Amino acid sequence: MSCGAIYLIPTPIGNRDDITLRALRILSEVDAIACEDTRHSSPLLQHHGIQKPLISLHEHNEIRRIPELLERVRGGESIAVITDAGMPGISDPGYRIIQRCIEEQIPYEVLPGPSAVLNALIGSGFPCHAFSFGGFLSVKKGKRAQTLQAALDSAHTHIFFESPHRLPSTLEILAQLQPQARICVARELTKKFETFHRDTAAALHAYFQAHPPKGEIVLLVHGNADA
């Protein structure tokens, strides 16, 4: 029996229509879809008229579930891997299954598509020629401060994910480290209430103290080593 394949498919980061025709075609053709959260993914799939068996695949069951998925692929099935939003593998499940596919020579494809990292970068207006993505900032204040200081001292744009309840504390750290640093807070990307707040660290700290943030947050720090 011929081998199937694994497909890593990006899903919308907010607007359900931000998904490619190729992604919809493959999702409708595969034998099963592995989801980070089946309850979260079901409405998206239903919205696009896709009905397939769903399998949970998240950080707590990856080690156990991946061998099962790869065995099904070796048996001829094709399986799509999606996460709650954006590109699988970027601060989401996806890295481990690709590593196993490479090690075991199992066919896989990665489709292009939505990514909060790139949307935030372009929308911020900060330099795009050189940038880095740091994932989620540490919950520990000391480690966060070290990471943010390194970002301020660099010569390019740094992008981080941050939770809304921790954002004011992170902006306070930035305001203490460098009050005039150029910062952008991208919120609720592609959704109805999408906003880009661009200002100094001190000004944004004051703003979000008075206006507690809600929703998904991407934080961008403009490195000033060249200044």
pLDDT in tens, 11-66: 999 999 999 999 999 999 999 999 999 999 999 999 999 999 999 999 899 999 99
Q: What share of residues in the chain are helix, strand, coil (percent, to 5)?
A: 35, 20, 40
CA dist 137 → 84, 128, 224 (Å): 19, 21, 20
CATH T-level topology, domain 5-110: Cobalt-precorrin-4 Transmethylase; domain 1 (3.40.1010)
Domain locations along the chain: 5-110, 116-222
How high does pLDDT run on average in the chain?
Answer: 95
CATH T-level topology, domain 116-222: 3.30.950
pLDDT in tens, 21-35: 999 999 999 999 999
